[in-house]
């Protein structure tokens, strides 16, 4: 089974590339973030024509998550159980389902904006709620993974220059402690380092030629329980998909399982 996660940065803008990538990559389950569309606008018909069922949590703003599966889509939970609100509403940042016997979450962790901002405090509360939900859902022998855009670089090796990010979000001790709390809940990062290249970044800003200069960050992650991790045969960042006209600013992260 091939499971992937991809922040598409608008599924409407990325639809031709998404459809082509699904056909060429052989992906069975895809976790999508930043759909930037409403549930009604989601291209379920086009995806169904390729054999994919869709589960969507989106409200038409800049958030939105989805799961695509061609191996079944059961026990769907839309939203983060116990998750906090921001500006009086729970944002559409999580969705989970069982796909071919594997429990999969697609998450889009809040950005945090800047240290000290209300959104930064919200990000930390959201991550705490995620850990609690994971503890409740990842127990037992069923393979489980939470994948998505975590908006956190786990270590200084996961950014092109730690000095550039000093004092900024994505690299603070509190955010990294939240990832450590997920590991303490029985999950581990299933994407090995190093990969086929020295810096397996997953995100490059559109500005200042960041991608050609490889000024990136590894913030798209896959955290899994022991049953899932033990079945992993390969994992990689599809850096080629970040190239060319109309690309997202994130690359897909792909995990192959023997289940």
Q: Is the pLDDT of residue 212 over 70?
A: yes
CA–CA distance, 190 with 225 (Å, rounded to integer): 9
pLDDT at 115: 96
Q: What is the pLDDT of residues 117-168, one digit of tens each?
A: 999 999 999 999 999 999 999 988 999 999 999 999 999 999 999 999 999 9
Residue 198 clears pLDDT 70, i.e. is over it? no
Q: What is the mean pLDDT of residues 233-238?
A: 93
Question: Cα-Cα-Cα-Cα dihedral of 115, 121, 125, 131, to 10°?
Answer: 0
Is residue 196's pLDDT more than 60? Answer: no
Mean pLDDT over all residues of the chain? 95
**Overall number of domains in the chain:** 1
The domain that contains 248 carries what CATH number? Answer: 3.60.10.10
Whole domain around residue 192: which residue ranges?
2-257
User: In this predicted structure, what is the pLDDT of residue 200?
Assistant: 81
108 is catalytic: yes
pLDDT value at residue 195: 53
Annotated catalytic, 206?
no
Residue 141 assigned as binding residue? no
The residue from 137, 149, 158, 220 that is catalytic is 149
Average of per-residue pLDDT across 185-207 = 81
Phi then psi for residue 151, to 5 deg, are 50, 35
State yes or no: is 250 an active-site residue: yes
Give the integer Cα–Cα distance in Å for 47 and 52: 5
User: Which listed residue (52, 108, 203, 236) is catalytic?
Assistant: 108
């Amino acid at each position: 089974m091939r499971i992937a996660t991809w922040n598409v940065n608008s599924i409407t803008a990325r639809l031709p590339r998404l459809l082509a990538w699904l056909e060429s990559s052989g992906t069975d389950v895809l976790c999508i973030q930043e759909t930037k569309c409403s549930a009604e606008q989601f291209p379920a018909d086009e995806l169904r024509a390729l054999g994919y069922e869709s589960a969507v949590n989106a409200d038409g703003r800049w958030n939105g998550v989805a799961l695509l599966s061609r191996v079944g889509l059961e026990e769907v939970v839309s939203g983060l159980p116990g998750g906090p609100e921001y500006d009086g509403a729970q944002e559409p940042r999580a969705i989970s389902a069982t796909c071919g016997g594997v429990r999969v979450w697609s998450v889009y962790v809040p950005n945090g904006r800047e240290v000290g901002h209300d959104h930064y405090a919200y990000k930390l509360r959201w991550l705490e709620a995620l850990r609690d939900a994971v503890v409740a859902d990842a127990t037992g022998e069923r393979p489980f993974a939470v994948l998505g855009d975590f908006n956190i670089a786990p270590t200084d090796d996961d950014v092109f220059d730690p000095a550039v990010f000093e004092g900024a979000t994505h690299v603070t001790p509190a955010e990294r402690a939240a990832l450590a709390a997920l590991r303490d809940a029985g999950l581990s990062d299933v994407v090995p380092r190093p990969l086929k290249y020295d810096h397996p970044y997953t995100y490059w800003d559109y500005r200042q030629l960041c991608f050609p200069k490889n000024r990136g960050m590894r913030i798209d992650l896959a955290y899994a329980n022991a049953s899932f991790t033990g079945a992993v045969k390969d994992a990689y960042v599809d850096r080629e998909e970040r190239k060319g006209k109309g690309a997202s600013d994130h690359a897909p992260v792909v995990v192959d399982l023997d289940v």
